[in-house]
Structure 1
Amino acid sequence: MKVLSIQSAVAYGHVGNSAAVFPLQRIGVEVIPVYTVNFSNHTGYGAWRGPLIAPADVAEVIAGVEDRGVFPEIDVVLSGYQGSDGIGDVILDAVRRVKAANPGAVYACDPVMGNAKSGCFVAPEIPVLLRDRVVPAADVVTPNQFELGYLTDTQPDSLSSTLASVDALRASGPDVVLVTSVERPDREPETIEMLAVDGEGAWIVRTPLLPMKANGSGDVTAALFTAHYRESGSASHALGRTVSSVFDLLTRTHESGARELQLVESQEFYAHPRMQFDVEQVR
């Protein structure tokens, strides 16, 4: 499997491509990373150095990859945080060209906008871009519950309302939806869930809620789920493997006391997930 991953990159720590590439490589996926920024560290620190990469320069890198005749071999185009309208246009153009070269390729979009605790933390034009143009072009989308609500103009909270929101999102274009950070009022205390839906059904996994904030964990989740789904065609299989790997990554990070994901130290959890959580079919 080959993945063209168009995302941000940092020198220190693990977000964007700096979070997604290594776990994919560890499970045997060939990754072609294209950077949209090259920062010293993620912006959660409040200070960082390094450049935003101009959309035209990102497009040039992608064109250079295309010149090598690689596009027919690409199975997945993966994108995450989009810093500007221009980057969105570059990604959508790359998706069109990859799919023209390989009609079996899929586009997986992590529609990064914000979360329930912090609200929306991207430029005002980005949510509109994602909702109106990018997500409808995607085959796989991986929003958190907050982002799902924005994309569908709904308020998902219960399982039934979250499933209804997913149905509305799938009706706009994507076939496969992974909803992260699902928090239902009737869930068991100190737990959190992930929900995966495709044309075959809907499945949910519940894990303990760890008392931590982990920048980059969504990037790892989107990458692993997309790769597992592309390989197996099974949302339940992809969900179970992804949740197991990410939970163990977060547990090791929490126990370490480190601010950054213990991405390299957790590598066996990607290659050999313990599959310690039940995957429950809910539809």
Structure 2
Amino acid sequence: MSNILSIQSAVAYGHVGNSAAVFPLQCIGHEVWPVYTVNYSNHTGYGAWEGPIIPATDVAAVLSGVKDRGAFPLIDGILTGYQASPEIADVIVSTVRDIKAENPDAIYACDPVMGSATSGCFVADEIPPLFRSTIVPVADIITPNQFELGFLTERDVTDLDSTLAAVDAAREMGPSTVLVTSVQRPDAPSAAAAADGGPGVVEMIAVDDHGKWLVRTPRLPFKRNGSGDVTAALFLGHVLQGRAGANPEDAVKDALAKTASSVYDLLRVTQEADSPELQLVQAQDYYANPQLQFEVEAL
């Protein structure tokens, strides 16, 4: 079991941010300490919501209280996701540095939430430059989707070669491990079938110092907010477990296989229920016991 500090948004209705990340991490055996950056009624994809952005000073106060309990040396992983205000960047960076000063083995995983290929960039204009200049350089793991990877590295990311080149550029910014989600490219197997109206595929690519890997799953013809938050959380959780295991060099590869399996089944269960929100609780068995139905390919 690891202790994970998760600093991100929360909603009352539905599952995004910490409201998506905490439960799956608990299901695979981790202790999670959530700190909220917003407390909304629902995710912003509905076009209307209520509730506050938590001021950065209040977030810092909560984190200070956790530190005062002597908990920072106990933290194995730090997870951040959607950030609604640019002021939070300094709080995150200082917290990561304080934790690593007390536990140098702690891993910081940053999900640089900025947008998607379908919605475009949906965060404040100040946020992407802060990811580039301030947050990503102190991260050990980042989990952008394909769109965010291009935005982060200021590159066109289309085919496999350009994706891997952008991953290399992202790793040069600081993080040793990059997970790219929602990869769709014209040079992928079954891309032609998708162009003809078939289901097509979607891929995830993970890269670290030990190798480059790709996993391919069927593309389900719908989108639900929060799936990226679950992906980032499970990936960090499995990496922590793998690095503490017998074969730490396989931690990222194994985390990719388990995460892809669990997230696919979560989306499948959600689609079958025709639910507007992720069926997070209903799919819980697939977090603790991923089916590992998709092959991981070395690149």
Identity of aligned pairs, percent? 63
Name 2:140's counterpart in structure 1. 139
Secondary structure of the corresponding residue to residue 87 of structure 2: helix
Letter in 1 for 2:217: T
Write the mapping of 1:81-120 to structure 2, written as runs, cut at 5 A: 81-120=82-121
Name 1:226's counterpart in structure 2. 236
Letter in 2 for 1:164: A
Aligned with residue 215 of structure 2, among 195, 205, 209: 205
CA distance in 1, matches of 2:175, 2:37: 24
Name 2:225's counterpart in structure 1. 215
Question: Which 10-residue stretch deviates more, 10-19 or 224-233?
Answer: 224-233
Deviation at 1:230, TM superposition (A): 1.7
After superposition, give the CA deviation of every residue in 1:113-149 in whole Å (9 maximum; x if it has no partner): 1111111111000000001111111000000111111
Name 1:251's counterpart in structure 2. 268
Letter in 2 for 1:100: A
Gaps of at least 5 residues in structure 1 are none
Deviation at 1:50, TM superposition (A): 1.2
CA distance in 2, matches of 1:154, 1:280: 25
CA distance in 2, matches of 1:49, 1:121: 17
Gaps of at least 5 residues in structure 2 are 195-199, 244-250
CA contact (8 A) 2:81 2:110 kept: yes
Name 2:202's counterpart in structure 1. 192
Deviation at 1:152, TM superposition (A): 1.2
Name 1:273's counterpart in structure 2. 290
CA distance in 2, matches of 1:228, 1:9: 22
After superposition, give the CA deviation of every residue in 1:253-279 in whole Å (9 maximum; x if it has no partner): 011001000000000000000000000
CA distance in 2, matches of 1:6, 1:152: 24
Name 1:159's counterpart in structure 2. 160
Secondary structure of the corresponding residue to residue 66 of structure 2: helix
CA contact (8 A) 2:116 2:147 kept: yes
Deviation at 1:161, TM superposition (A): 1.4
Deviation at 1:248, TM superposition (A): 0.0
TM-score by length of 1: 0.98
Name 1:32's counterpart in structure 2. 33
CA distance in 2, matches of 1:119, 1:249: 24
Letter in 2 for 1:242: T
Letter in 2 for 1:195: I
Secondary structure of the corresponding residue to residue 215 of structure 2: strand
Letter in 2 for 1:209: R
TM-score by length of 2: 0.93
Write the mapping of 1:61-72 to structure 2, written as runs, cut at 5 A: 61-72=62-73
Deviation at 1:153, TM superposition (A): 1.6
Secondary structure of the corresponding residue to residue 267 of structure 2: helix
Letter in 2 for 1:166: V
Deviation at 1:186, TM superposition (A): 1.8
CA distance in 2, matches of 1:12, 1:146: 27
CA distance in 1, matches of 2:49, 2:8: 17
Question: Which 10-residue stretch deviates more, 199-208 or 40-49?
Answer: 40-49
Runs of 4 or more consecutive aligned structure 1 residues displaced over 6 Å after TM superposition: none
CA distance in 1, matches of 2:275, 2:67: 39
Letter in 1 for 2:77: V
CA distance in 1, matches of 2:89, 2:281: 30
Letter in 1 for 2:89: G
CA distance in 1, matches of 2:49, 2:86: 22
Deviation at 1:51, TM superposition (A): 1.2
Deviation at 1:40, TM superposition (A): 1.0
Residues matched between the structures, number: 282
CA contact (8 A) 2:160 2:187 kept: no
Two-structure CA RMSD over aligned residues (Å):
0.8
Name 2:172's counterpart in structure 1. 171
Letter in 2 for 1:207: T
CA distance in 1, matches of 2:123, 2:3: 29
CA distance in 1, matches of 2:135, 2:114: 13
Name 2:74's counterpart in structure 1. 73
Letter in 2 for 1:139: D
Name 2:197's counterpart in structure 1. none
Deviation at 1:235, TM superposition (A): 1.2
